[in-house]
Amino acid sequence: MRTIVYVGTSLDGFIARKDGDIDWLVKYQNKEVHTSYHEFISRIDAMVIGRGTFEKVIEFPEWPYEKKVFVLSSSLKQIPEIINDKATLVAMKPAALLNYLSDKGFSNIYVDGGKVIQSFLKEDLIDELIITRVPELIGTGIPLFGYLDKDLQFEHISTNIYSDGLVKSQYKRKR
Amino acid sequence: MRTIVYVGTSLDGFIARKDGDIDWLVKYQNKEVHTSYHEFISRIDAMVIGRGTFEKVIEFPEWPYEKKVFVLSSSLKQIPEIINDKATLVAMKPAALLNYLSDKGFSNIYVDGGKVIQSFLKEDLIDELIITRVPELIGTGIPLFGYLDKDLQFEHISTNIYSDGLVKSQYKRKR
């Protein structure tokens, strides 16, 4: 089983503004970025997001995810019936959720959303980090990373440079 | 005149642990990193540091800087006589300091130290960022970046990959 973070950040490490806005990020969307994202999605088989991400994407005109989504939340009570086949609400700790997903036959898990990523990293449950940095400082917002009890060492796998100055680096956890 | 930040950070954007320790950073020092640093130093003609950096380097067995150093501090009263020819104490705002340095004939200024870098960025007075990221999360510490009143867009110039997984990216301010 493999857990992977695939995320875009500002140069100063934010994944969104305080209000969730990603205007500064989407302006860098281009064909290369889309291709990279779809290549990545093709190698995962489930996705874990938190309440914050869920409440954002549920507002979109269309459900944006192709793969099975697990919404990790202890406060959400239910998920709208219309997306019952696409998303499942789970109220578990990260380690228990991974056991549950493994039992269900999932093996490549995309972990997304600031708080979810941080809670997985805090328990050293992320195997791979793929971070695309846009060449911009936004000064404040929702940070990608949070407090950790210990250092986590990674191995650099590859770095790609895209037009518009995006730098995508892929790292694997060194255990 | 050109102001340049050249700094090593953890993947989560810290330049030192809370107590100033850079054990996690120095373990990645190698010949490539030294060569890169010395190439960079050869193209600057003065350096601006803050009290934090000054009080740290003054403890070193030898003064570590080749170029003229300006110590930006309103709380320091004087600098030890023995390094009077190497370092000058200045109590100015960033913009005033740059005018002062320009009048003195300096044109490529290395800006270093967390608080000093942040105070220059806050006034949009940094022209170039050269950031080398080590493949490690340290979870807490002294952050490279701080709050900004506005977005600052940069242009990606180049990215180099070093052995041990260090990724150095160079950016120029887009004005």
For residue range B21-35, list pLDDT tens digits in order. 999 999 999 899 999
User: Going by DSSP bridges, is the β-strand pair A142-143/A14-16 parallel, antiparallel, or unpaired?
Assistant: antiparallel
For chain B, the C-alpha Rg in angstroms (whole number) is 16
ipTM over cut 0.85? yes
Mean pLDDT, residues B102-112 taken together: 97
Mean confidence (pLDDT) of chain B: 96
Cβ within 8 Å of B, A 111-170: 121, 129, 131, 133, 135-140, 144-156, 159, 161, 165-167, 169
| Per-residue pLDDT tens digits for B109-168 | 999 999 999 999 999 999 999 999 999 999 999 999 999 999 999 999 999 999 899 999
Chain A residue closest in CA terms to B9? A12
Between residues B80 and A13, which one has the greater pLDDT? A13
pLDDT computed for residue A161 by the predictor: 96
Q: Where are the alpha helices (DSSP H) in A43-174?
A: 51-57, 94-103, 114-122
Low-confidence ranges of chain A (pLDDT < 70): none
**Is 90 exceeded by the pLDDT of residue B82?**
no
Mean pLDDT, residues B54-73 taken together: 93
* Cross-strand partners of A9: A133
- Distance in Å, alpha carbon of A33 to nearest chain B alpha carbon: 16
Instruction: Quote the CA–CA distance of B93 and B71 in Å, as a whole number.
Output: 12
**Is 90 exceeded by the pLDDT of residue B16?**
yes
pLDDT computed for residue A98 by the predictor: 98
Residues 6+ apart with CB under 8 A from A82: none
Name which of A139, A150, A156 is nearest B151 (Cβ-Cβ): A139
Name which of A136, A144, A156 is nearest B135 (Cβ-Cβ): A156
Nearest to B51 by CA among B22, B73, B69, B70: B73
pLDDT computed for residue A82 by the predictor: 87
